[in-house]
Structure 1
C-alpha cells in the first residue's frame, strides 16, 4: 500500500495521530452530552484534567487553536464538538485550517462544487 503524500500545511490523520490524540478526541466526543458541555464551560481546566490531556493539547484548547489541536492529534469530526461549544461550525474549522476567512472558504467550496457539477 502506498504511503500518503504529505500536503504542505496539513496534518494527515493516521494511526499515529489517532493514538496521539486519543484523550483529546475522547474528551471532544463527550461533548455529545449537554451535561458534559456545561461541565466543561464551568471548569475547563478540571474537565481537561479529567481526560488527562497532554500539555500541548490543553494549551491548544485554552488558546482555541484549531491547527494546534489538529497537530496534537485532534480529529476534525471530534473537534467539531468542541467548536460547537464555541459557536463555531465545520466551515469555521475549514477556514482556520486553510488560513482563509470563512467567507473565502465558503466561496472556494462553492467553486469546487460548481466544477464537479459541470
Structure 2
C-alpha cells in the first residue's frame, strides 16, 4: 500500500515497515557502539557481518558504505551513523555525503537556513511519477 509520505523527495521515512525490514541491519550497526565490536568488525568486516542475517543488499550497502541505500533498506540514520563514526565520519560530514553536496556546501547551506522548500515538497510537483 502506497503511503502519502512516499511522495517526499529524498526521504526514507523510518516507519514500522522499514523498522521490520532493517531490524538486523540496525542490530549490526548498534553493536559498533562498543570498542571490542568495532575492533572485530575492522579486523574482518565480512566475517563480522556473518553474525547478522541481513539481506544481500543490506550487506553490500554496509560493505560499500552506501549511506542512502542503507536508509532505503531499513536502516535508521541514528544507527547507521555508528558505522559512519567507526569510519571517522561525524554526523555533519555524513549529511554532506548523503546529500551529495560535500561537507562545506552542506554546512554553508545549513548556516544559511537550510534548503529552499521550492521543488522539494512533493515528488509529484516535479511532473514525474
Bin of the TM-score, shorter chain as denominator length: 0.7 to 0.9
Q: Would you say 1:50 and 2:57 are equivalent positions?
A: no
Query: RMSD of the alignment, in Å?
Result: 1.6
Higher helix proportion: 1
Matched residue count? 112
Residues 1:63 and 2:52 are matched in the alignment: no
**What stretches of structure 2 of length at least 5 have no aligned partner?**
115-129
Quote the offset at 1:74 in angstroms.
Answer: 0.7
**Could you list the per-position Cα deviations for residues 8-62 of structure 1 after superposition, in whole angstroms to 9, with x for gaps in the alignment?**
1221111111111110111111111100000100111111110112101110111
Determine if the alignment matches structure 1 residue 9 to structure 2 residue 15: no
Cα contact 2:6–2:12 (8 A) shared by 1: no
How far apart are the structure 2 equivalents of 1:112 and 1:62? 34
With the length of structure 1 as denominator, give the TM-score of the two structures. Answer: 0.87
Partner of 2:87: 86
4+ residue runs over 2 A deviation:
2-6
Higher relative contact order (CA 8 A, sep 6+): 2
